[in-house]
Structure 1
Amino acid sequence: MFQGVIKHHQRFDFERVPAVVELCWQAGADPHDETVNPSSWNPENVEGRVHGAKSLSPDDLRLIARGTLKAWETLRSGVQKLLMVYPAKVCKHCSEVHVGPSGHKARLCGVFKFESWRGTHFWKKAEVDDLVPPKVVWYRRPQDPPILLNEGREFYGHAPAVVDLCVKTGAIVPSKYVCMMKVQGLSAPV
């Protein structure tokens, strides 16, 4: 079930899709189903639609934040469950991801001069963070100074950017992020 080597000049001859989409297709999702196809998404068809930023009340923002957090957690737990059933690999040296029984052999890894690794991909088992990376940001708590200083970085909390944005909008911090965000932690010594 291994593919032949895809030459560098052939790399654009093959369709590339997001890894999460490919994982869902392998699990049986219909790519032509209009309810899940992002290109056919129409914001006018969504219940509780948002007409504009000016029309949003604090309650609307809180509702949107809760829905966003729920969607974030649903996506990550769904990808985790799919990865238990369907194999996915990520290259250790570049950002390539392959979903399926064997990693592809497109020679894209190390083809640029600034990359020290030259050769085929070095595949390892993909984790949820490889397919849905949580962009982590510093989380500023009420007890922290207005501008976070380098000297206090071990005291400051972190949070995925999605969680931080939703919490600032009024959503409740999910319990699994409380430790990471150091919500009850001490402020940096002055």
Structure 2
Amino acid sequence: MFQGVIRHNQRFDFDRAPAVVELCCQAGADPFDENLCSNTWNSDSVEGGVIGAESLSPDNLRFIAMRTLTAWETVRSGVQKLLLVYPAKVCKYCSEVHVGPSGHKARLCGVFKYENWRGAHFWKKAEVDDLVPPKVVWHQRPQDPPVLLNEGRDFYGHAPAVVDLCNKAGVIVPSKYFCMMKVQGLSAPV
């Protein structure tokens, strides 16, 4: 069931899609269905539209942040459920992802200078973080100094950037992120 090796000059002869989109297509979703996205976001639901940050009231910002955090959680839990049914693989040495029964054999792994692996992909089972990576940022708590210092990096908390951004807009963060954010943790010693 493995495919033949795709040569370097053939790499653009095949269609590529984002991994989450391909996973949803294998589950039966139609990516060209216009009704698919109509229920998730309606720009008319925010009064006055989103022209600039100054046009949004704090309530509108909180509403947008709440919808964003809900969408983030929905995407991550949906990908988790789809990965239980449909196989997906990620290369251990590069950012290549394959959704389907076997990994492809395109020789793209290690062709860039910053990649240390030269050769075929080394496939491993994909996790949610491989398909929907949480970009983690430092989370500044009220007890932290205004400028985070290198000496206190063991005391500061982290959070996915989406969660931290929604928290700054006034949304209450789900409790599963509290240990990562070190909400009740100590501040760095001075």
Other structure's SS at 1:35 match: helix
Stretches of structure 1 that go unaligned for 5 or more consecutive residues are: none
Q: How far has the Cα of 1:46 moved from its partner?
A: 3.9
Provide the rounded CA distance (Å) in 1 between the counterparts of 2:157 and 2:89: 31
Give the aligned partner of residue 77 of structure 1. Answer: 77
- Computed over aligned residues only, the root mean square deviation of the Cα atoms, in angstroms, reads 1.7
Give 1:47 shift.
4.4
Tell me, yes or no, if the aligned pair for 2:159 and 2:181 is still in contact at 8 Å: yes
Deviation at 1:31, TM superposition (A): 2.1
Is the CA contact (8 Å cut-off) linking 2:94 and 2:115 kept in structure 1?
Answer: no
Give the corresponding residue for 1:186: 186
Partner of 1:168: 168
What's the offset of the Cα at 1:116?
2.4
Are 1:91 and 2:91 counterparts? yes
Shift of 1:111: 1.8
TM-score, with normalisation over the residues of structure 2? 0.93
Give the direction of change, closer, same or farther, for the CA distance of 1:45–1:177 in structure 2 (3 Å limit).
closer
Please report how far the alpha carbon of residue 184 of structure 1 lies from its aligned counterpart in structure 2 after TM superposition. 1.0
Q: Distance in 1 between matches of 2:74 and 2:42?
A: 21
The list of structure 1 runs, each at least 4 consecutive aligned residues, that deviate by more than 6 angstroms after superposition, is none
Work out whether 1:108 is the aligned partner of 2:105: no
Quote the Cα distance in structure 1 between the aligned partners of 2:113 and 2:76. 35
Offset at residue 52 of structure 1 (A): 1.6
Tell me the CA shift for residue 159 of structure 1. Answer: 0.1
**Residue 7 of structure 2: aligned partner:** 7
**Alignment partner of 2:35: what SS?**
coil
Q: In the alignment, is residue 48 of structure 1 matched against residue 40 of structure 2? A: no
Identical columns (%):
79
Q: Which amino acid aligns with 1:95?
A: S
Equivalent residue for 1:33? 33
Paired position in structure 2 for 1:119:
119
Q: For 1:115-134, what per-residue CA distance to the aligned partner results, in whole angstroms no more than 9, with x for missing partners?
A: 32111000000000000000
Return the alpha-carbon distance in structure 2 between the equivalents of residues 32 and 115 of structure 1. Answer: 35
Equivalences, count: 186
TM-superposed deviation, 1:3: 1.0
Deviates more, 1:25-34 or 1:79-88: 25-34
Query: What is the TM-score normalised by the length of structure 1?
Result: 0.93
- Matches of 1:46 and 1:171 in 2, distance apart? 20
**Superposition deviation, residue 113 in structure 1:** 3.9
